[in-house]
Amino acid sequence: MNKPLMAKATAVWLVDNTTLSFKQIADFCGMHELEVQGIADGDVATGVKGFDPIANNQLDMGEIEKGQKDPLYRLKLKHNPSAVGEEKRRGPRYTPLSKRQDRPDAILWLVKFHPELSDGAIGKLVGTTKPTIQSIRDKSHWNYINLKPVDPVALGLCKQSELDTAVQQAVRRRAAEGVVMSDDERRKLVSTEQSLGMSTEPKMPSNLQGLEAFSISEEEKKPTDYSDAESFFNLPQGDDDEDEDEDSPRR
């Protein structure tokens, strides 16, 4: 672990019970120095009860003494074997209750604009399950008619960097599988900022070699002269005319 359990409560305890600098406490608790200063001023973490890191086997008293003597000393978190791997996320992402109603709209946006993403990737981005994603894909979701595609980044369900990383991984996977993507799909594979800045006009190919065979000659470019009626109709002069002359009454 890079920071102690209940980091903000631990910072409150260190501010109240030690003479460590704000920077030392901030580095140990994984916070910003101004946030620790706000705790000392009473503007931040109001009502939060301090959490003793020494009593909870996260910090030795000797570390605090070294830090109080040397302002440049960085406190070392006590190793706890039972806490190894706790930072690794298990299961889907946790979504606050206030934003869970927005997940179907975010799923619809991802399904529509990033079809290359797998159900597992979408589930990790917005914190949902595969059955929910599948119900939106096949339009069997109970509220599908009222859903509107909304960017999950705008909804605060994931970060833009996380979305870009998931899309890049999907691109590499499809490239390894030999799947050929269309130009429209390639536009969707870039980040949101890049996509908004791209021109909607089709681009001309940079390599024009081989197009000489399709060039039109100067004679073909000239308009056809239809002033002469005979050249326009181009009536055949053959045996049919002679037959008509023989069948016609002679005078």
Q: Are 79 and 119 contained in the same domain?
A: no
Evaluate whether residue 242 is within a structural domain. no
Residue 238's alpha-carbon distances to 25, 50, 228, 230, in angstroms, are: 108, 113, 20, 15
- 102 and 59 in a single domain? The answer is no
What integer best gives the mean pLDDT of the chain?
75
Residue 186: the pLDDT is 54
Residue 198 lies in a domain: no
Q: Which structure tokens are listed for 13?
A: 């305890």
Structural domain contains residue 239: no
Residue 27 sits in the same domain as residue 77: yes
Q: Are 114 and 158 found together in one domain? A: yes
The span from the CA of 60 to the CA of 52, in Å, is: 11
The predicted pLDDT at position 207 comes to 46
Domain boundary among the residues 172, 202, 217 is at 172
Which of 50, 83, 116 is the last residue in one of the domains?
83
Tell me whether residue 104 is in a domain.
yes
80 pLDDT tier (thresholds 50, 70, 90): low
Classify residue 190: in a domain, yes or no: no
Provide the domain count of the chain.
2
- Whole-number pLDDT of residue 134: 93
Residues 108 and 157 both lie in one domain: yes
Residue 13 located in a structural domain = yes
User: Are both 77 and 34 inside the same structural domain?
Assistant: yes
- Among 51, 83, 115, the domain-final residue is 83
What proportion of the chain, given as a percentage, has pLDDT over 90? 26
With beta carbons less than 8 A apart as the criterion, state whether 152 and 93 touch.
no
Query: Does pLDDT of 14 surpass 90?
Result: yes
* Tally of CB atoms within 10 A around 46: 9
Reported as a single tens digit per residue, the pLDDT across 33-46 is 898 998 888 888 77
Residues 70 and 106 in one domain: no
Domain ranges, residue 68:
7-83
**What is the rounded CA–CA span in Å between residue 132 and residue 114?**
17
Same-domain pairing of 71 and 122: no
Answer yes or no: is 39 within a domain: yes
In a domain, 72, yes or no: yes
Yes or no: say if 127 and 159 are a contact pair by the CB < 8 Å rule. Answer: no
Whole-number Å distance between alpha carbons of 104 and 143 = 9
